[in-house]
């Protein structure tokens, strides 16, 4: 893993949360994007080498809406950038890590993504992401 790609925060409303994080970070939101496969709308902020991603559920049955219903707004996952996602998946599988899905899919911000299961990462949802070339 070569860097913390982003930290993702689940929010009820991007329209409320974007101005808040613009004030906190002192940077404007540079991209808002929908990811229909995840039933989520995202907003990104650059913070040095890393990013902050806000996640708003687009569907009450989606993962983010259910997360907020259960735990409230807050940190959802931490994402690490990798150069070769398939190689990293294989390495971690050999070490005994479990994945929510072992098949990378297209995520927000031009990335291939995969999530490690939090039951094998001390309860932290970890995303691996690779830039799509």
> Is 18 within 8 Å of 25 (Cβ atoms)?
no
**Bridge pairing between strands 74-81 and 126-131:** parallel
User: Angle CA(51)–CA(113)–CA(30) in degrees, nearest 5?
Assistant: 30
Distance CA 81, CA 61 (A): 28
Distance CA 46, CA 38 (A): 22
Distance CA 10, CA 92 (A): 26
Tens place of pLDDT per residue across the chain (133 aa): 789 999 999 999 999 999 999 999 999 999 999 998 889 999 999 999 999 999 999 999 999 999 999 999 999 999 999 999 999 999 999 999 999 998 999 999 999 999 999 999 999 999 999 999 8
């Amino acid at each position: 893993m070569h860097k913390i790609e982003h930290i993702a925060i689940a929010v009820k409303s991007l329209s409320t949360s974007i101005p808040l994080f613009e004030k906190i970070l002192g940077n404007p939101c540079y991209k808002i994007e929908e990811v229909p496969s995840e039933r989520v709308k995202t907003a990104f902020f650059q913070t040095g080498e890393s990013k902050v991603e806000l996640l708003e559920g687009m569907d009450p049955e989606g993962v983010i809406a259910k997360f907020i219903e259960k735990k409230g707004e807050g940190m959802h996952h931490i994402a690490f950038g990798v150069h070769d996602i398939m190689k990293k998946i294989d390495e971690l599988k050999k070490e005994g890590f479990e994945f929510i899905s072992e098949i990378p899919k297209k995520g927000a911000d031009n990335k291939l993504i995969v999530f490690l299961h939090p039951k094998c990462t001390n309860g932290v949802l970890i995303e691996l992401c690779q830039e799509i070339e």
